[in-house]
Structure 1
Amino acid sequence: MKLSPIVLEDAFVRLEPFSEALKEEARAALDCDADAWNGMVAAAYGAHFDGWWDAALRAMAAGSRIAYAVRRRSDGAVVGTTSLYEIRPEHRRCEVGSTFYRPEARGGAINPACKRLLLDYAFSNGAIRVEIITDALNAASQAAIRKLGATFEGVLRKHKITWTGRARDTAQFAILDEDWPEVRQRLDDRLGRLA
């Protein structure tokens, strides 16, 4: 499995790997909805942004993450971020996540389009397992992950500490390479209805 920081795009979104040229657009996209950050391991709004950004760039340099700015194709606005992370070529696995969208970009085509691009890129380049995790308290996120067609694998108790200091239980989902054709078709059908 070999994943590199390349641009991924479709009719709805353009995923651009983080670079210094994108920093201020990403900052503006994330500087909102403080309550939505409470279940995250790290916050990236307001004063939290610079440390979060620098950590993402360090992980990219180490090859364990590809962080993307999510640019909406309809108007060219950066409306959030998402990542391929916990990249483990030796196990042919990675995670899709570290995702945040501005409130007006939630729902609709943005999230399924991003997931379609990221999953296709991972599986086309040798992944056999892609994980998607979320706070066990975040019912909306879990519903969105289930809607993708990912399999729920259980709850990891006290799995991560959020930036607020809470010991977070994590709901774990995964898509395997043999699941991907069906998941891809579901996403394609869904995006076709949103076109």
Structure 2
Amino acid sequence: MSTTKTIPSDLTLQTNRVILRPISENDFDDLRELALEEEIWKYFPFNLAQKQHFQKWMDTALAEKQARTRLPFTVMVKETAKIAGSMSLMNISYHDLRLEIGNSWLGKNFRSTDVNRHAKYAMMRYSFEELNCERVEFKTDVLNERAKQGLRKIGGTEEGVLRSHMTMWNNRRRDSIYFSVIKKEWFSLKESIFREIEGFAFTEV
């Protein structure tokens, strides 16, 4: 991430499988419908199945996009144009050349597909190759075995646990586990575990 390039608010990423475009108010109904499944939110600090939580989450996403402190994406399946969920580039430190890929969730019909893999690939590739990041980080609930396994599968290195890190929507205190990929690892990951992914492109203004 250079000192002269920042993340544009209208960045769109894609592979041959997915399109990630900036979230908009027009996505409210589709995302709201996906979020109704309670099981999604077991390990999240928010429960978007609850209407008031979803409204607050959406308002925050739009405000932070406007302020350019976070870029929340709507994730779409390219072939069908169906909305699958949302992910964000967030906790951005231009000085430290790092950011987090987080606020990641998909509807139940997309969680056992390659949508997450393609979306994470597109976000990491843009971060390392266009923004010149030195580090991309991820965090999840230490109890979330599925998410931890998924992060390992995309090349994430487990770093450690922040104890009593977050208050969950049900008032449980969450321990968060961090993973990261660093720049010197990225190109070998791209040519190995992501080698079959094609069609990466981005547009920005």
What corresponds to 1:44 in structure 2?
Answer: 48
What corresponds to 1:188 in structure 2?
Answer: 194
Count how many residue pairs are aligned between Structure 1 and Structure 2: 191
Q: Is contact 2:48-2:57 (8 Å) kept?
A: yes
Identity of aligned residues (%): 28
Question: Where do 1:133-172 residues align within 5 Å?
Answer: 133-172=139-178
User: Secondary structure in 2 aligned to 1:52?
Assistant: helix
Following TM superposition, the consecutive aligned residue runs of length 4 or more in structure 1 with deviations greater than 6 angstroms are none
Residue 190 of structure 1 deviates from its aligned partner by 5.2
Distance 1:21 1:168 in 2: 32
Question: Where do 1:21-170 residues align within 5 Å?
Answer: 21-32=26-37, 34-47=38-51, 48-124=53-129, 125-170=131-176
Distance 1:148 1:154 in 2: 17
Distance 2:137 2:158 in 1: 10
TM-score (norm 1): 0.92
Distance 1:7 1:17 in 2: 7
Q: Is contact 1:65-1:83 (8 Å) kept?
A: yes
Residue 135 of structure 1 deviates from its aligned partner by 0.3
TM-score (norm 2): 0.87
How big is each residue's C-alpha offset from its partner over 1:55-110, in whole Å with a ceiling of 9 and x where there is no partner?
11122223221111111112111011111111111211111121111111012210
User: Gaps spanning 5+ residues in structure 1: where?
Assistant: none
Distance 1:183 1:61 in 2: 33
What corresponds to 2:201 in structure 1?
Answer: none
How big is each residue's C-alpha offset from its partner over 1:146-190, in whole Å with a ceiling of 9 and x where there is no partner?
011111101111111112211100110011111111222234235
Query: CA RMSD, aligned part only?
Result: 1.5
Give 1 or 2: higher helix fraction: 1
